[in-house]
Amino acid sequence: MDRPRQAPTCGPPGLIARPGVFALAQSAPLTHAQCRRAVRVWFLVATIVLLSLSDLYMTLAHLRSGGMGEANPIARMVISYNSPALLSAWKCACVALAAMILILARFRRSGEVACWVSTVVLTALTIHWISYSAEASKYTEAINALAPNDPGANWVTMAGH
């Protein structure tokens, strides 16, 4: 007696995940490759969140210890309020929105590619932070003397709270 073929699941037993926004689209059941992609995307999103939190930590540490150059005008505006809580909330909201979009696209190749690109960019940023931290400590006095006097430097600081 032939049993009906059961659709692959990606998650708790009995849940048939379907591609689409909030898995509501009535499309064909997922393939094994789509399920594997979804798992990879979940791990990449977790990595993106961890790397983003480390970026926030380094940003706050450097803002409180003499300042740093910030190229992003929106981030400069948020930092201008001199509130670590506001900066943290803004950063976490941005990361949460990005993570939600990536998770919604977890069954698509484009979603996985976006995750890989984001992970590579954030890894490069982390490596840059390590280098910046090592160099900044050598030149703290010179940076503090020169940077605030150069209006084109996009220099930002934040008083310790």
Residue 1 maps to a domain: no
Residue 154 maps to a domain: no
Residue 41 maps to a domain: yes
Residue 150 maps to a domain: no
**Domain carrying residue 33:** 29-136
Taking only the tens place, the pLDDT of each residue in 12-57 is 444 455 555 555 444 567 788 888 999 999 999 999 999 999 999 9
Residue 40 maps to a domain: yes
Taking only the tens place, the pLDDT of each residue in 61-119 is 988 887 788 888 899 899 989 999 999 999 999 999 999 999 999 999 999 999 999 99
Taking only the tens place, the pLDDT of each residue in 124-160 is 999 999 998 888 767 666 666 655 565 556 777 777 5
Whats the size of the chain, residue-wise?
A: 161
Residue 148 maps to a domain: no
Residue 19 maps to a domain: no
**C-alpha distances in Å from residue 158, one per residue of 12, 61, 83, 108, 123:** 45, 9, 8, 41, 25
Reading the block at residue 155, the tokens are: 């220099």
> Please, are residues 48 and 95 in contact by the beta-carbon 8 Å criterion?
yes
Residue 117 maps to a domain: yes
- What does the alpha-carbon distance between residue 158 and residue 84 come to, in Å, rounded to a whole number? 8
Total-model pTM: 0.76
Domain count, the chain: 1
